[in-house]
Chains A and B, each alone.
Chain A
Amino acid sequence: MAPAVALLDRRLVFVTGKGGVGKTSIAAALGLMAVQLGKRVLMCEVDAKGNLADFFETKPNRFTPREIQPGLFAMAMNTEESLKEYLSLQLKVPLIARVGPLAKSFDFVASAAPGVKEILTVGKLCYEVRERNYDIVIVDAPATGHVVAQLAAPQAINELVKVGRVRDQTNWMVELLSDPAVTGAVIVAAPEEMPVSETIELAGRIRTETTVDLAGVIVNKVLPELFGRGEEEIFGRLCEEPAMSELATAVGGPVGDVLDAARLAVTLRRTRAEHLSRLRAELPPGLPLMYLPYLFTRAHGVRATTHLAESLGAELGY
């Protein structure tokens, strides 16, 4: 089921999910798809652990966006740089260097004051959207909990900071973030216990604690079903004598390992299917759920990203 507002028609897309589910690779694939649709794309990695560059096989990203493919720009969020940019753009603070202690103090203030790092992150992203420097900004957002703090930061700041320039800025950010035609969040999940539990929790939190539209859940690494109806029984008989020996004769080689492997594949698929049913049952009704097959690929890097973009394109209807 596709989202109400097509994902890539939005201008700001947050991709989040628990570590290990393939969040960054999905973000990269979305970026690739957007470029193939002829859009001018900014990809931003916000997760400090991000390895977005690996998926395009480019050098590590920096705060200043770099064109890594025609039309595809990549940057890494850095809240200190974001603050400097904000100060020079908005406050017209002259000669940042002379605010000497600022850089040093920054980490301290930012860590102590709730929401400062978050607002600098979201602020920079919203700024790029508002200025229409790109057609779409795709964010490799931090895993689960952190992303809620970021998406909710503008309102939170409104409540905490009673006066000051930051507050003047938060209204237009809230407006951008709350508009489903502009902004959407996507949770990437995998059909495993913890990722499913965290996805359910996160979906609830995004809906209750932020104003951002939850555009959908992408379930990654879905294993294929081996056997259809009536075929399981045949497989069952094959795993027993005399069929096993007959198969060994027919094929002219050992079959034990191959049958074990098939049994493993069936079991893995089955356990994961249970987690998937739980996900379906507990997510808010009507929320688009998209499935991506596990890719048995030997490729890494940009080739693997291309594979993923292809299957994601099929699922999203591009």
Chain B
Amino acid sequence: MAPSRRTRSVDPDAARSLEQLLAAKEIVITCGSGGVGKTTTAAAAAAMAATYLGGKVLVLTVDPAKRLASALGLEQFGNVETRVPHELFTAAGVEPRGELWAAMLDTKESWDALVRTHAPDIKTREAILANPLYQNIAGKFVQSHDYIAMERLYEIHSSGRYDLIIVDTPPTRNAIDFLEAPERMADFFSSRLLRWLILPYKSRLVNAASKPFYSVADRILGSQFLQDIAEFFILFQSMYDGFVERAKAVTHTLSDHRTTFVVVSTLETAPVREAEFFIDALEHKKFHLGAVVLNKVLPAYFLDTAATETARRLEQDSAKVAAQMPAALGDPDRVERVLREIGASFLNYRVVATREAEQQKEMAHVPDIVCTVPFFDSDVYDLAGLLRLGETFWR
């Protein structure tokens, strides 16, 4: 007897649908290049999970899309987790089994929170928070955006407040940046360079090895600025142990068996290339690739032979076809133009659909779950829209 699809799989890696995958995991990280519908996909998946799987589901986004916020009934996303009102589900015609929560990542606020957690005493804490350099760079600091996303995820997950957390990743300059962000942060704080830069300002002694560096740095940046940096890092170093330990824990979360990655893409050339690059990176790092969601896929009828034949006839023989249509349809010249336009438009889109189908076939190393989401007639503007989108990739 063939195994039933309904059987709850013991091995989460054997999931065959997004529903099963989300039921088996606690953290889902969506990734992909900009403009492919990553944020909307994450929100739709979270809404589906809250509706059908139950429990407390959080969607953690970095994208301040106003309409998505209002689709979730929120004035705006904030750094604080907010529950999506139950009435919105009722209005969308579903009775959710669980709760949907949403939060947006505010890099600066998250850094402040981190400093508050790790600073050894109140004095250091206040000194760091008040440091103009800190205020200036909290948002820019060593891929801080990537790191803080992972850090926030770790903090929320280890708090045990949610059954499922879906994270929409920041659009990074390089897709794997955020995967490496925690490691890099740990490296950074344990680096010799950091100690080295701070040393002369601590001991007022510049040793022979570091002297050339300082003289060059001084000439470029000016010694006052260099000293400002050093003072800032001396303060920051007091948080060293906490930070390194934390960054390691965050890294561990990413490779935990309860975590999975969902790669989102369209079938356009550049996003597909990036999706493939990302899939390779996940494999290399031994992270779990759960699914690929392909957004904005043109309907399959564009590849249909009979339909294509009809379109060709309409484009080429529009006059002949128009002549056979009843006069009541309208002005014959206009009818002819409409018919030709219908045919030409179909053939135009067929070119794109064919190229994209080819693109999909060529995608190597895809996971078991590949969901295709059709082009939507209109933009998603409410929870019902999110759920409608979710239905297309859920089962």
Bound: A193/B143 CA distance, A: 27
User: Which one of B307, B352, B378 contacts A296 once the chains associate, using CB atoms below 8 Å?
Assistant: B352
Q: Are A164 and B222 in contact (CB under 8 A)?
A: yes
User: Which one of A163, A197, A252 contacts B66 once the chains associate, using CB atoms below 8 Å?
Assistant: A197
User: Which one of A165, A195, A252, A267 contacts B35 once the chains associate, using CB atoms below 8 Å?
Assistant: A195
Q: Is A241 an interface residue (CB 8 A)?
A: no
Task: List A residues 108-128 near B (Cβ within 8 Å).
Answer: 108-109, 111-114, 116
A60-68, A210-218, A255-263 - the one binding chain B:
A255-263
B43-51, B111-119, B134-142 - the one binding chain A:
B134-142
Bound: A250/B321 CA distance, A: 6
Q: In angstroms, how far is the closest chain A Cβ from the Cβ of B230?
A: 10
Across the interface, name the chain A residue whose C-beta is closest to B33.
A19
Chain B interface helix/strand/loop/mixed: helix
B140 proximity list for chain A (CB < 8 A): 111, 114
Q: Are A112 and B220 in contact (CB under 8 A)?
A: no
Q: Is A39 an interface residue (CB 8 A)?
A: no
User: Which one of B36, B136, B313, B330 contacts A252 once the chains associate, using CB atoms below 8 Å?
Assistant: B313
Across the interface, name the chain A residue whose C-beta is closest to B379.
A193
B379 proximity list for chain A (CB < 8 A): 193, 271
A154 proximity list for chain B (CB < 8 A): none
Q: Are B193 and A104 in contact (CB under 8 A)?
A: yes
A4 proximity list for chain B (CB < 8 A): none
Q: Are B216 and A99 in contact (CB under 8 A)?
A: yes
Q: Are B269 and A261 in contact (CB under 8 A)?
A: no
Bound: A238/B314 CA distance, A: 13
Q: Are A18 and B35 in contact (CB under 8 A)?
A: yes
Q: Is A47 an interface residue (CB 8 A)?
A: yes
A261 proximity list for chain B (CB < 8 A): 299, 301-302, 307, 311, 342, 345-346, 349
Task: List A residues 11-57 near B (Cβ within 8 Å).
Answer: 18-21, 24, 47-49, 51, 54
Q: Is A268 an interface residue (CB 8 A)?
A: yes
Which residue of B34, B193, B268 has the most chain A CB atoms within 10 A of its CB atom?
A: B34
Q: Is A161 an interface residue (CB 8 A)?
A: yes
Q: In angstroms, how far is the closest chain A Cβ from the Cβ of B388?
A: 15
Q: Is B65 an interface residue (CB 8 A)?
A: yes
**Given A254-B306, A262-B345: A113 and B225 interface contact (C-beta under 8 Å):** yes
A132-140, A223-231, A308-316 - the one binding chain B:
A223-231
Bound: A165/B269 CA distance, A: 44
A101 proximity list for chain B (CB < 8 A): 193, 196, 209-210, 212-213
Bound: A5/B171 CA distance, A: 33
Across the interface, name the chain A residue whose C-beta is closest to B64.
A197
User: Which one of B273, B329, B343 contacts A234 once the chains associate, using CB atoms below 8 Å?
Assistant: B329
B180-201: CB near A (< 8 Å → 1, else 0) gives 0000000010010110110000
**Given A102-B216, A231-B337, A246-B325: A237 and B330 interface contact (C-beta under 8 Å):** yes
Chain A interface helix/strand/loop/mixed: helix
Bound: A21/B141 CA distance, A: 27
User: Which one of A230, A238, A258 contacts B311 once the chains associate, using CB atoms below 8 Å?
Assistant: A258
Q: Are A233 and B330 in contact (CB under 8 A)?
A: yes
Q: Is B362 an interface residue (CB 8 A)?
A: no
Q: Are A243 and B341 in contact (CB under 8 A)?
A: no
Q: Is B361 an interface residue (CB 8 A)?
A: no
Across the interface, name the chain A residue whose C-beta is closest to B142.
A111
Beyond the given pairs A161-B221, A163-B223, A227-B338, 18 more chain A to chain B contacts, judged by CB atoms under 8 angstroms and listed by A's residue number, are: A20-B36, A20-B271, A48-B173, A98-B212, A100-B213, A101-B213, A102-B213, A161-B222, A194-B35, A230-B330, A237-B330, A243-B325, A246-B324, A250-B321, A253-B310, A258-B343, A261-B307, A267-B378
A interface, CB within 8 angstroms of B? 18-21, 24, 47-49, 51, 54, 87, 91, 93, 98-102, 104-105, 108-109, 111-114, 116, 142-143, 160-167, 190, 192-195, 197, 224, 226-227, 230-231, 233-235, 237-238, 243, 246-247, 249-255, 257-262, 264-265, 267-268, 271, 296-298, 300
- 14 residue pairs of the A-B complex, CB under 8 angstroms, read A19-B35, A20-B35, A87-B216, A114-B140, A160-B225, A231-B341, A238-B338, A243-B329, A251-B321, A258-B342, A261-B301, A262-B346, A296-B352, A298-B351
